[in-house]
Amino acid sequence: MADETIDIGGDLSVRRLGFGAMRLTDWGPPRDRPAAIAVARRAVELGVTLVDTADAYALGANEELLAEALHPYPSGLVIATKAGQSRPGRDRWKPLGRPEYLIQQAELSLRRLRLERIELFQLHRVDPQVPFAEQLGALKQLRDDGKIRHIGLSEVGVAQLEEARRTVPIASVQNLYNLADRRHEDVLDYCEAAGIAFIPWFPVAGGAHALAGGPLAQVAQQIGGTPAQVALAWLLARSPVTLPIPGTSSVVHLEENMAAMDIRLTGEQFGRLDAVWREAQSLEPAG
């Protein structure tokens, strides 16, 4: 049975199925604000204790929405946010890791979220135009100043993670990862060995895995669940450090996702799902 909680940074206990808030807002404020607020509040009612957002989600409107919906925050609820990714256009993302910018964005996030300290603050992307040590130095300064508690990274490889840990303690890594896309398998293995929380974004597998009659659908039929629930249950069983953050703007889908906490895959079911990816890897031509 998968553990239901994880201690981020060794001392920040959260439930192992969080909520990704990005889809609550569009390019700007949500089209249906009461509905978005209802989803955020329902997530907490269902036991979510980690909500993931970022300064770049709707240019800060996502953080403002969460504060409107959830502040004053119930005891034990962690609002994790990120900086280091700018939005020059609706569908454009650009890393921006200048130290003064990261510090400024952390201050703005504190204001929008109505917090005195951000419990988990993640570098949204490593900016290749700025020395990594300088980006890490800004995060260290924020931590030393009491503005943030724990530091996380997003979309990093093992070498970057090792480099970062020589400067500051790293509590979490947020990388793209799901049953069908496991390019960061080595990062997850490293995080498990080091006791670092691994937060898969886009955690519900797509592609061939999700086709009608595919492996997810087959297991879902066996257990009386949905393919999305099976994909999340697989992530929870994959490693004790995984902390998926499925996102949605629908209360119905939110409730479906959260029910994945109650699914326990058998060893045979887990292995069958795992084997599909491993077989696909073996068929790929050697690079």
Q: pLDDT-derived band of residue 208, with 50, 70 and 90 as boundaries?
A: low
Type and span of the H or E element at 51: strand 50-52
Sign of CA dihedral 262, 173, 120, 104: negative
pLDDT average, residue stretch 56-76: 97
What is the domain-level CATH number for residue 33? 3.20.20.100
- Pairwise pLDDT comparison (8 vs 1), residue with the higher score: 8
Task: Look at residue 211 and tell me if it is in a domain.
Answer: no
Q: pLDDT-derived band of residue 79, with 50, 70 and 90 as boundaries?
A: very high
Given a cut of 90, is residue 28 above it in pLDDT?
no
Task: Look at residue 9 and tell me if it is in a domain.
Answer: yes
Task: Look at residue 222 and tell me if it is in a domain.
Answer: no
End-to-end CA distance of the chain: 38
Q: What percent of the chain has pLDDT over 90?
A: 87
Given a cut of 80, is residue 283 above it in pLDDT?
no
Cβ contact 70:41 at 8 Å: yes
Q: What is the pLDDT of residue 286?
A: 46
Given a cut of 60, is residue 131 above it in pLDDT?
yes
Residue range of the domain that includes 42: 5-206+234-263
Between 3-7, 121-125, 185-189, the lowest mean confidence (pLDDT) is in 3-7
Type and span of the H or E element at 80: strand 78-83
Cβ contact 245:199 at 8 Å: yes
Q: What is the pLDDT of residue 100?
A: 98
Task: Look at residue 216 and tell me if it is in a domain.
Answer: no
> Which three-class secondary structure state does DSSP give residue 175?
strand
Number of structural domains (the chain) is: 1
Residue 57 annotated to the active site? yes
Pairing of strands 197-201, 172-176: parallel
Task: Look at residue 112 and tell me if it is in a domain.
Answer: yes
Q: pLDDT-derived band of residue 91, with 50, 70 and 90 as boundaries?
A: confident
